[in-house]
Structure 1
Amino acid sequence: MQKFSIIEKFTELFSELGNCKEEVQKQKIEELYGLMDKMDKKEFKSIFSRELFDKIGKMLEANKLSLENTIVLSKFIGFCNSLQGLCIESFDSSLLGTKFEKMIIEENKKKEGKNEKLLIGLCECFLALSYDTSSELIPVCVPCLLKGALNKEENEEIQKEGEMALLALSCVDQFYDLRQDLYLNEIKEIITYHKEHRNLTCLAYQSIWNLNELHFLKEAAKELEELSKCVDWKKKEVEEISKEESKKELILMRWIEILEIYFLYCNLWNEEYVSLFSSIVQVSRAARENKREICYWCICSLRSAAKNRNVRVEDLLKGGAIDVVLEEMNQSTLDDAIIWNCLNFFLNISRRLKEKEDDEKEEEERKELKRKIFEKMEEKGFEDCEIGFRELVFEVKNLFIAQPCVCLIILFLNLTLKYYRLELTLVK
């Protein structure tokens, strides 16, 4: 089946769901999942509108789709949605979204005869599909899904349930108590158990680490290196790749996205930062020519790290982050989104290097670090950076705000960086 026919095939197959028996429905839902698995982001977003979720809700109300099959279909949608890293805003206001919310509340209120399996399934669907992850349902869903993820029975059904629970949990808003002391012991137990048994898919295993901010950096670096070996970096993004290759790329990109968020909010220095930066740098270089979206997220994660004062500038230098950002700025074909993150990376570095230390020894170390970074920049052709870099970035920022024409912005960046001069004279 050719790529352009996926949406038509999905629509046709979906329209048949309400006119067949439950067992046949299960088969058709598996087929629908196969089609979802082949969709790219644009195709996926075009299919899963509020209208489609309303249709599923109406089929459930009219008993044309059983509750069990509705949950299975919703899990498949949620799984693919999470893998793609998309946000389906239409689910929350849809008939299906409101029905799931009501069912979760009603089932949770039961003091006797509570159906734990049903509740876990509903919570998995809700968290994996809900855009509003600050919902009041989260305090209900999180303990329920942690319980599901901690189920250690060794059979295929329980394993799949645990994987979906972990994936749904990884969608929870990062500011919620899931990342605080309230559930820390449960999260540690999940991580320890699954690390020892290694019996989950890469995506589910990744989701465990997404729940824990304490000590996942060495493991993240290892995962990046392993996944990097599975990607054909010579193939361009527009070229056809196998389903397995596509999944590996998506999982690799999710790791980088997780790290970008981690670096924004981490509040402790970690000695493993250097090796992790080194892994991100290797991925960025490999992705530079043909996988620009992956390259973009690599630069984003380094920009976030440079902004966080709990991450040492020295570690960014040792891990090769300075080099790879400068290399990106030296590309003949510049990507405005990536270059903007490069400029912000150095703006953050510049701010931090300007802050003098009270301790004499630390002040000497700061000056030495500053000298090394400027030498790096001069080696790459960026002269006079100390004089004008900070001013240049502020001028670019003002241009972004004042001038809505993207073409002029890109032209400005290209002209500035083409001649490798980061001086104030260029923006006057």
Structure 2
Amino acid sequence: MPTLDGTMQVTDNTKKFTELFSELEHCIEDEQRKKIGEMNDIVDGMNYKEFKSVFVADLFNEIDKMIEKEKLSMENAILLLKHVGYLCILRHICILDFEFTLLNERFKKMIITEEKKKEEKDENLFVDLIECYLLLYCHLGNLMKETKEICFPCLLKAALKKEKSEVTQKDVEIALLALCCMSAFNHVGQELYLNKITEIIKYHQEHLNLTRLAYQSAWRFFIFRLWSQNSLEGMIVNDLCFAREASRELEELSKCVNWKRKEENGRMEVKEVIIIRRWLIVFRNYFEWCTLWNEELVGLMSSIVQLFRAARDNYREICIECLYMFVTVAGNRAVEIDGMLKGRVIDTIFEEIQRPTLIDVMAFQSLTFFDHISSRLKRKKDDKMEEAKRKELKRKVFEKLEEGVYEDITVCLCGVISFLNKKYNDQSSLNISNFFVIT
């Protein structure tokens, strides 16, 4: 049995997990399965440090050795490893050493071997191997071309199951999570996925057959293609109604969270908060690459603002993620400033910089937001109608900020811009006029 990371004191969770793991090789298969169920329950209750201290290269190599000596069945190994990989994705944990383990090599060889079997292939084992491999391998970027071409169609096929049973929904959820692991860093031609991913999203919109995490993952896969395939945007915005769907999902998820209860450091967040965080990453990616604009995006920004305000007191990390996204929105000329006014984005960030508990990163991003807005409103237009619209927007924004004490606050904050630039390795302007919208 591998030893725990010596930098951390052994806890009840790590001790119990270690004891159960050491007993596996002395059990028959059914007893192993029961103990692995107990181990998975323990893993669910681990905090970040406990998780990282247990799932190290030595443990994965030990699992490989047990499989090799037939002391642990592959089926039972998968039962443990798929659960660990699933939690790695939800908790955004990277097991950096996995790439260099014997278990990783075993997975790669088995996946390629199973693919070559064709008609004799064990489809369930094939899918399980791919999911374990990708969920644990997700941080490593580009997969080998051969591995990618094998994994991709297999996961899409698994994700196309449409039954509403709990087992099928979980299978589809994991398949889509694994698909996202591969899609973020690997180029995939539209002909391989477009029709199937569209079918998955549309079918759910009509029949509600996916879990919330699975639906979010399907959208995440789609949106992450935008940076290299912007021709998808028309379908995303108009046919699949991304902004409307995302806004509805965000509002429904927010209702399930007790925002008045402070999140516990180190412990796993409630699942709804995890899914909200994943949506925020999707939104930021969309607003970075979007070129189309419609009124439904105003509704989406309004929903994000509501989330920001709900999370303000006890979930500051979510607020910071929202603010990063608002900065991205402000820097994208395709996003209308008038839409940011209607969605109350500008009001919200102005409220934030007035808070007495304002932290450095929030101050810095708030100033960056207003820098972007000011820069865009200063650019004169050749077209008379567009120029008139620009001046009207300047007036609206100026009046909105003049209602408060924006100038005084900004002057105070500008005194620490040099410090913030060094802290966040940025080059924000030291010219105070850049942060003002002057009529």
| Band of TM-score, shorter chain | 0.7 to 0.9
Could you give the per-residue CA deviations for residues 315-365 of structure 1, whole angstroms, max 9, x where no partner exists?
Answer: 122111111112222221122223332222223223322322221111121
Cα distance in structure 1, aligned partners of 2:185 and 2:338: 29
Given that 2:111 and 2:130 are in contact with CA atoms closer than 8 Å, whether structure 1 keeps it comes out as: yes
Q: Closer, same or farther in 2 for the Cα pair 1:10/1:21, shift >3 Å?
A: same
Cα distance in structure 2, aligned partners of 1:41 and 1:233: 22
Given that 1:85 and 1:254 are in contact with CA atoms closer than 8 Å, whether structure 2 keeps it comes out as: no
Q: CA deviation at 1:97?
A: 1.7
Q: Secondary structure at the match of 1:31?
A: helix
1:235 lines up with 2:261 in the alignment: yes
Aligned mate of 1:322, from 343, 346, 370? 346
Could you give the per-residue CA deviations for residues 127-164 of structure 1, whole angstroms, max 9, x where no partner exists?
Answer: 21212132122232111100111123565543332221
Residue identity opposite 1:232 in structure 2: N
Cα distance in structure 2, aligned partners of 1:9 and 1:303: 45
Cα distance in structure 2, aligned partners of 1:216 and 1:163: 19
Cα distance in structure 2, aligned partners of 1:366 and 1:203: 41
Could you give the per-residue CA deviations for residues 243-292 of structure 1, whole angstroms, max 9, x where no partner exists?
Answer: 8x722222222222221222222343233111111111111111111111
Q: CA deviation at 1:187?
A: 0.2
1:77 lines up with 2:106 in the alignment: no
Q: Closer, same or farther in 2 for the Cα pair 1:385/1:53, shift >3 Å?
A: same
Given that 1:178 and 1:184 are in contact with CA atoms closer than 8 Å, whether structure 2 keeps it comes out as: no
Cα distance in structure 2, aligned partners of 1:340 and 1:390: 8
If the length of structure 2 is used for normalisation, what is the TM-score?
0.83
What is the aligned length? Answer: 404
Given that 1:53 and 1:96 are in contact with CA atoms closer than 8 Å, whether structure 2 keeps it comes out as: yes
Structural mapping, 1:89-238, within 5 Å: 89-130=96-137, 131-136=139-144, 137-153=147-163, 155-174=165-184, 176-178=186-188, 180=190, 182-213=192-223, 214=236, 215-238=241-264
Given that 2:141 and 2:186 are in contact with CA atoms closer than 8 Å, whether structure 1 keeps it comes out as: no
Given that 2:363 and 2:413 are in contact with CA atoms closer than 8 Å, whether structure 1 keeps it comes out as: no
Q: Secondary structure at the match of 2:393?
A: helix
1:47 lines up with 2:54 in the alignment: yes
1:248 lines up with 2:311 in the alignment: no
Q: Which moved more, 1:321-330 or 1:207-216?
A: 207-216
If the length of structure 1 is used for normalisation, what is the TM-score?
0.85
Cα distance in structure 2, aligned partners of 1:184 and 1:312: 29
Aligned mate of 1:357, from 381, 386, 397? 381
Q: Secondary structure at the match of 2:260?
A: coil
Q: Closer, same or farther in 2 for the Cα pair 1:402/1:315, shift >3 Å?
A: closer
Structure 2 residues not aligned, in runs of 5+: 1-9, 224-235
Structure 1 residues not aligned, in runs of 5+: 404-415
Residue identity opposite 2:180 in structure 1: S
Given that 1:344 and 1:393 are in contact with CA atoms closer than 8 Å, whether structure 2 keeps it comes out as: no
Could you give the per-residue CA deviations for residues 45-99 of structure 1, whole angstroms, max 9, x where no partner exists?
Answer: 3332222222222222222211111222111011111111233322222222222
Residue identity opposite 1:316 in structure 2: M
Q: Which moved more, 1:366-375 or 1:275-284?
A: 366-375
1:33 lines up with 2:40 in the alignment: yes
